[in-house]
Structure 1
C-alpha cells in the first residue's frame, strides 16, 4: 500500500506541474500577441520618422560629423526569467562579436545590459557591465525603461564623449527567432533621391539643426523601444516553445506513472487475494 500511495502522490504532483506549464504556455501565447502588436505599431511610426529623414536630407543634405573613434555603448537585451531556451546565450554570443568588431575599429566599448541573466552571462565571459536595466514585464513598463536608458545615454554622452550606440537583441520574425545588431548611432546618411509619395516636394520651415535634433530623439526612442518589444516577443515565443516541449514530456511521464500505478495496484490486489486464499487454506487444512 505504501508503494501504491507513493505512485499516487507522484501522479498528483505531476498533474499540478502540468497545470502550471499549461498556464505559462497560455500566458506566453497572449504576451506574444501584445508585443507583436507593439512592434508593428513602432514599425509604422519608424516609417514616418524615415520620411522625416528624407525631408531633412532633401533640404539640408548633410549630417553632423563626429569622431570615428572614442567610446561606443553596446546595449545587450536579454531576459530576467528562465525557461526560454537558448535566448540569453544567443544574445550573449552576438554581443561578444559586436564588442570585438567595435574594438577592432578603434572604439572603447562600454557594455550595458537589459536583463539580469544576460548580465551574468556576459560577466562570466569576462565582460565588464557598466549599466544594467530591468526587463519590463508588460507594455506599461517599456516606456519607463526606455526613458531610463535615454537619460543614462545623455549623461554618458556628456561625461564620456560617446561616439557610438548599438543595440543587440533577439528578433521575433516569421521564419524563426534571430539575433540582430542595430547600430543606432552614428547615423548613416539616407538617400536624398528616394521617391516621394505625393504631388508636392517636401519642404521644411524650421532650422535644419532643430529638425535634426527632433528626428534624432525620435530615432533613438523607436530604436530602443522597438528592440525591447521585439526581444520580449521573441522571449515569449521561446518560452512558448519550451512549454510545449515540457507539456509533451509531462503528459508522457503521467502516462508512465498511471501505467505504473495500475500495475502496482494490480500487484497489490493479487498479493492480497493470495494472502486470503493462503489463510483460508490454512484454516481449512487446520
Structure 2
C-alpha cells in the first residue's frame, strides 16, 4: 500500500492545482465575454463591407486599377501567424503553427517566406528556428485597439503595394463558440482572393453608382475595408484564445477533481489497512502473552 504521508502530500498538491485552474477558468470567462461581444458586433459590419467592396472592385473590371487587387507572380510571401502570448490553452497555438508550417511546406514551398508573428508564442517559435521574422508587432495582444491594429495593417499593405510581398496570408483561429475554434487561412492580399472567402459573393455583379468618384472609392474605402478585415481577424483570434483557455482550464479542473477522488479513496484504503495491521499486531501480541 502507498505511504500515507505521500498520498496526503499529493492530495494537497492536486487541491492547490485545482484552485489555480478554477481561478484561471474564471479569469478566461470574464475576458471571453468582452472579446466575444466585440467580435459578434464586428462580424456583420466586416462581412457586409467586404462583400460590397469585392463586388465594387470586380465590377470595375479593367477600367480602374486597384493597387491592392494587383495579381502578380508569387515569389515573396508574408505569412501572418496569430497565436497567444501565453500557454495553457490546449492546442490553440500549436494548430496555428502547424497550419503555417503546412503552407510553407506545401502551397508556398520554394518561395521567399517572411513570418509576421502576432503573439509571443509564434514569435518565439519562428525566431528560435531561424526564420525570416518581423519582430515589431508580436505584442499586439497586450493592447488591442483599432489604432494599434491599423499600424500593422498599414505596414502589411505598404509592403504589398511596394512589391516587397506578392501575397499576404493570415493564419488564425476563427471563433465559433467556447468549445470550438477553427484554424482559418485567409488570403488577405491581393484583394481578389477575398471574394472567395466571403459567402454570397460568387457570381454576383451589381451595377453600383459610385460617389463622389471611383478614385475616391479606391483611395479611401478600399484601405479602410482592408484594415477592418485585419482587425476582425485579430478579434477572432483573441476571442478564440480565451475560449480555448476557458475550456482547457475547465477540463483540467475536472481531471483534478477525478484525481482527488482516486487519491482520497487510496488514502482511506491505506489508512484502513494501516489500522487493521496495528489491530492484528495487538491481537497477536495478546495471544502470545496468554500462551506464556
Q: Give the TM-score of the pair, scaled to structure 1.
A: 0.77
Note closer, same or farther for the CA distance 1:74–1:224 as it changes in structure 2 (3 Å cut): same
Q: Which residue of 2 aligns with 1:98?
A: 103
> Does the aligned pair in 2 maintain the 1:49–1:219 contact within 8 Å?
yes
Offset, 1:188: 1.3
> Does the aligned pair in 1 maintain the 2:140–2:149 contact within 8 Å?
no
> Does the aligned pair in 1 maintain the 2:114–2:131 contact within 8 Å?
no
Offset, 1:76: 0.7
1:266-285, aligned counterparts within 5 Å? Answer: 266-274=272-280
Q: Which residue of 1 aligns with 2:89?
A: 84
Offset, 1:169: 0.8
Query: Which range moved further: 233-242 or 58-67?
Result: 58-67
Query: What CA distance in whole angstroms lies between the structure 2 residues aligned with 1:15 and 1:262?
Result: 17
1:1-286, aligned counterparts within 5 Å? Answer: 3-50=3-50, 53=53, 54=55, 62-64=64-66, 66=70, 68-69=72-73, 71-100=76-105, 103=108, 108-123=112-127, 127-131=131-135, 132-136=137-141, 141-143=144-146, 145-153=148-156, 156=159, 161-173=164-176, 176-188=180-192, 194=204, 203-274=209-280
Query: Which range moved further: 166-175 or 218-227?
Result: 166-175
Offset, 1:183: 1.4
Offset, 1:279: 6.8
Query: What CA distance in whole angstroms lies between the structure 2 residues aligned with 1:148 and 1:237?
Result: 27
Question: Deviations along 1:168-190, whole A, 9 cap, x unmatched?
Answer: 11112259432121112111186
Note closer, same or farther for the CA distance 1:28–1:111 as it changes in structure 2 (3 Å cut): same
Note closer, same or farther for the CA distance 1:57–1:73 as it changes in structure 2 (3 Å cut): same
Query: What CA distance in whole angstroms lies between the structure 2 residues aligned with 1:13 and 1:215?
Result: 57
Query: What CA distance in whole angstroms lies between the structure 2 residues aligned with 1:277 and 1:103?
Result: 80
Aligned CA-pair RMSD: 3.7
Note closer, same or farther for the CA distance 1:223–1:99 as it changes in structure 2 (3 Å cut): farther
Note closer, same or farther for the CA distance 1:99–1:240 as it changes in structure 2 (3 Å cut): same
Query: Which range moved further: 69-78 or 23-32?
Result: 23-32
Offset, 1:155: 6.0
Offset, 1:166: 1.8
Query: What CA distance in whole angstroms lies between the structure 2 residues aligned with 1:67 and 1:26?
Result: 47
Note closer, same or farther for the CA distance 1:214–1:98 as it changes in structure 2 (3 Å cut): farther
> Does the aligned pair in 1 maintain the 2:84–2:141 contact within 8 Å?
no
> Does the aligned pair in 2 maintain the 1:166–1:185 contact within 8 Å?
yes
Question: Deviations along 1:131-182, whole A, 9 cap, x unmatched?
Answer: 3512515xx5343541341353366457763333221111122594321211
Report how many aligned residue pairs link the two structures.
278
Structure 1 residues not aligned, in runs of 5+: none
